[in-house]
Amino acid sequence: NAGVTQTPKFQVLKTGQSMTLQCAQDMNHEYMSWYRQDPGMGLRLIHYSVGAGITDQGEVPNGYNVSRSTTEDFPLRLLSAAPSQTSVYFCASNAHGFPAKNIQYFGAGTRLSVL
């Protein structure tokens, strides 16, 4: 049981490049979400999904796209990378219903640098 798997672990991009951060979970969780964490700061919610085919914006969605075609996968796409997107990105999943939905399982993170 791998839990939440994120790839890649590290990535360096040039300004203007695009890329996709992958996230997969094997716990059959309906909820998945993406957060970014800047140095010394808390996590900020980018996008989230409450089920396959359903996504919504979080606190900081600009510059990012998501889709949820399967329960297991929730990729995050950077459309045109900017230095302001240099951060650590965490993917998380959780079951639905109270109080289980408050127990999120996080991946190990993707460390992204945009030059």
- Candidates 30, 58, 63, 65; binder of other proteins (CB under 8 A) is 58
Contact 20, 76 (CB under 8 A): yes
Segment lying near other proteins (by CB under 8 A), choices 21-29, 42-50, 64-72, 77-85: 42-50
Burial (CB < 10 A; 0-12, 13-18, 19+), residue 61, is: middle
71 is an interface residue for other proteins by CB under 8 A:
no
Is residue 11 a contact point for other proteins (CB under 8 A)?
no
Least distance in angstroms from the C-beta of 61 to other proteins: 10
d(CA 14, CA 67): 24
Task: Determine which residue in the list 5, 22, 44, 77 makes contact with other proteins, applying CB under 8 A.
Answer: 44
> Between the CA atoms of 53, 64, 62 and 101, what dihedral angle is there, to the nearest 10 degrees?
50
Which of 24, 92, 112, 114 touches other proteins (CB under 8 A)? 92
Task: Please compute Rg for the chain using Cα positions.
Answer: 13
Q: Which residues bind other proteins (CB under 8 A)?
A: 31, 33, 35, 41-45, 48, 50, 56, 58-59, 90, 92, 98-99, 101-109
